[in-house]
Chain A
Amino acid sequence: MFKGKDIVSIRDLREEEMEKIFEIARDMIPIAKGEKREEYLRGYVLANLFFEPSTRTRMSFEAAMDRLGGKVLGFSNPSATSISKGETLADTIRMFDAYSDVIVIRHPLEGAARLAADFAEHPVINAGDGAGQHPTQTLLDIFTIVQEFGHVDGLKITLMGDLRYGRTVHSLAIALSYLDAEVHLLSPRTLKMPKHIIREMKKEPEIHERLEDVLEDSDVFYVTRIQKERFPDPTEYMKVAGSYSITKEHVKKMKDRAIIMHPLPRVNEIEPEVDYTPHARYFKQAFYGVPIRMAILALVLGVIE
């Protein structure tokens, strides 16, 4: 079912395929923690092609491959490669395809991963293309929720912060709606979820502008960073950022089992004191990136079926 499959968009995966990835990821957790040793990917080579900077995604793919006994080659700074000499992406992909068994790509332009998949014979995994898709992030986000609640359907999930430019929230909103979650969107007026994303959702989400409207009955708060550069006026930024951040006071009003997630890096949209409350899940969520990516690599390489 998975061998040779490209993972370019979250829409490439059916619900049962997501469940399969989660099932394997659960088995991978002790290996990701280093508590158990397995070498499923010994002899396999991953090409990790990062055309723009990334810390978590790149390192977690490396960790995933290393933990399973495989090797990683690639770059994190394209200026040191022949791309800076004007080589097309198609040619770069053909070359790395010849050197490796699976390709992971992060690229500043939308659609770059689909192009890579067209030219590579080996499976291609999209690690983020411009404002487009970032399916492994979406998978680890959903996995975090499933690990916590056992299901996604019926949960009241609030996506908050920068819903306009934040890449992770776009594919997450669509996926959650297809998994029958009750999606709520909370953002300043200028950073609303784009209409074309809402159009793709299975059910119309509820839209809010005040945290108080969703604070007491959300099961999940998915917080994203509001970037300063989106606001020409710094005082406007300060005002807006303040009303979309989570403080210890907010946490007191949340449901007992509510969880707070964040794709990281966090700046000040979650107060550091919140880290020590039983609601914080963002570091665990970041850790899940490793077992999820281990599962995807093992499945697309066909070593686990």
Chain B
Amino acid sequence: MTDQVLKVQKIRNGIVIDHIPCGMALKVLKILGIEGDIGSTVTLAMHVKSKNGWKDVVKIEDRYLDERELDKISLIAPTATVNIVKDYKVVTKHRVKVPDVVKGIVKCMNPRCITNQNEPIEPEFKVVSKDKIIIKCRYCGREMDSEDIVENIL
């Protein structure tokens, strides 16, 4: 057997989320709500060699992402790229972009925050750091990192 082994199969239609920081692939699946059988093939590779070190890769067949989902991915995998594949070809390729303000996609982890009451408002956060993601609640000021975000995704 040679070193050249195809570790992850190509997909026909769907998305390839590439350049996910090492160890975050399962969390990417979690925030996309993929926790059981979704009826199409999901391939996951962790600790894959890449040009600049190591990465995780997720491939999901017959699934596309909306803006909201892209924003969610950006918060836990800011270096990720999302490739849209049609007929085995990458038709578009874009890097996720960490927004300046995160609205309505994460809830505040502070149980004493007013946004966790029955009030007519959407939780809103300011992104205070984009390299190592830190968001700050506009209401109570609580700061949350990627780990906290995964646990509180809406």
Are B114 and A118 closer than 8 Å at their CB atoms? no
Question: Measuring CB to CB, which residues of chain A are less than 8 angstroms from any residue of chain B?
Answer: 9, 88-90, 107-112, 114-115, 118, 129-133, 196
A180 to B91 Cα, complex, angstroms: 55
With most chain A CB atoms within 10 A of its CB, the pick from B108, B114, B140 is B114
**Given A90-B119, A115-B119, A9:B141 Cβ within 8 A:** yes
- Checking A109, A115, A130 against B121 with a beta-carbon cut-off of 8 angstroms, the contacting residue is A115
Determine the chain A residues whose CB is within 8 A of the CB of B112 once the complex forms. Answer: 108-110, 130-131
**B-side binding surface: helix, strand, loop or mixed?**
loop
Are A88 and B139 closer than 8 Å at their CB atoms? no
Determine the chain B residues whose CB is within 8 A of the CB of A107 once the complex forms. Answer: 114
- Checking A108, A109, A110 against B141 with a beta-carbon cut-off of 8 angstroms, the contacting residue is A110
B117 within 8 A of A: yes
Nearest-neighbor residue (CB-CB) of A86 within chain B = B118
Are A111 and B120 closer than 8 Å at their CB atoms? no
- Checking A89, A110, A131, A196 against B119 with a beta-carbon cut-off of 8 angstroms, the contacting residue is A89
Are A110 and B139 closer than 8 Å at their CB atoms? yes
**Given A110-B139, A114-B138, A88:B118 Cβ within 8 A:** yes
A131 to B112 Cα, complex, angstroms: 9
Are B118 and A111 closer than 8 Å at their CB atoms? no
Are B114 and A110 closer than 8 Å at their CB atoms? yes
B17 within 8 A of A: no
Are B139 and A115 closer than 8 Å at their CB atoms? yes
B45 within 8 A of A: no
B26 within 8 A of A: no
Determine the chain A residues whose CB is within 8 A of the CB of B143 once the complex forms. Answer: 196
Are B113 and A109 closer than 8 Å at their CB atoms? yes
A109 to B119 Cα, complex, angstroms: 12
Task: Mark interface residues in B128-143 (1 if CB within 8 Å of A CB, else 0).
Answer: 0000000001111111
> How close is A298's CB to chain B, nearest CB, in angstroms?
28
> How close is A82's CB to chain B, nearest CB, in angstroms?
14
B83 within 8 A of A: no
> How close is B144's CB to chain A, nearest CB, in angstroms?
11
Determine the chain A residues whose CB is within 8 A of the CB of B140 once the complex forms. Answer: 110-111, 114, 129-130, 132
